Amino acid sequence: QGPQKRPNSTPETPRPKRPLPSQSPSTLFSPSSFSPSTPTPHKYPARGGRGQVVASFGSQEGILWGPGGEGRGPTPKVFGVPEEQLTKPYKFMFQQLLGIRQVLSWKIEELGAALKSHNNLEDFTSLTLPAQEPVTVLGQIGCDSNGKLNAHSVLLEGDREHSAGAQIPLDLTALTDYSLFPGQVVALEGTNSTGRRLLVSRIFEV
């Protein structure tokens, strides 16, 4: 056999290229064309194996599910002071406003005593009295609006003993870091030069 000639591949007669496979499907895209075919699921009422035990752990032989014997059962006992036990029906969340206020005041007084003992604080001062020197006040954190609590909406509701429940806005710009939430009982140290805004310099926590 004679020598085989290579086909000419000059630009005038370019070599035919192999057509590349199409990267996109020729049919219209739809989820069913790309999803694997699955058998039609059975309907819920036609399911099988109802009530069948699939797996069990431990031995259940000889176990009696009930009281220790015939006629015997648990006997509940009431602990604590009898005068403080709830022995009669009452309407839940139907408390009087005065009772709710007394509970909140008691919470501030109890936590205030713990703050005072833990941080070795002196007696607390009223929120409404102007003072040029730093004072220590007691109260719970509140919000002056219906939105979220932020540095511009936080206020302090004082206790009844020292502040008669008065509220005052707080200026927290002098603090490097703090973490507050509505209803939190805290003792604050700051300057209340006008009696209308407390510049907080320190927060005491338990």
Amino acid 27: pLDDT: 54
Domains of the chain with CATH codes: 119-204 (2.40.50.140)
Chunk the chain into consecutive blocks of 10 residues (it has 206) and report each block's average pLDDT, rounded to whole numbers. 58 57 55 58 72 76 65 76 81 84 91 93 90 92 86 91 91 92 93 91 87
Tell if the pTM clears 0.75, that is, is over it: no
Amino acid 31: pLDDT: 61
Q: DSSP assignment, residue 153?
A: T
Amino acid 157: pLDDT: 93
Amino acid 54: pLDDT: 77
Amino acid 124: pLDDT: 93
Q: Which residues of 78-108 are buried (b: 16+ CB within 10 A; e: fewer)?
A: eeeeeeeeeeeeeeeeeeeeeeeeeebeeeb
Q: How far apart are CA 164 and CA 101, in angstroms?
A: 12
Amino acid 72: pLDDT: 67
Q: What's the one-letter identity of residue 30?
A: S
Q: What's phi and psi for 177, nearest 5 deg?
A: -150, 150
First-last CA distance in the chain: 104
Which residue from 159, 161, 164, 146 is spatially nearest to 188, judged by alpha carbons? Answer: 159
Q: How far apart are CA 114 and CA 133, in angstroms?
A: 24
Amino acid 175: pLDDT: 92
Amino acid 144: pLDDT: 87
Q: Is 120 left (phi over 0), alpha (psi -120 to 50) or beta?
A: left
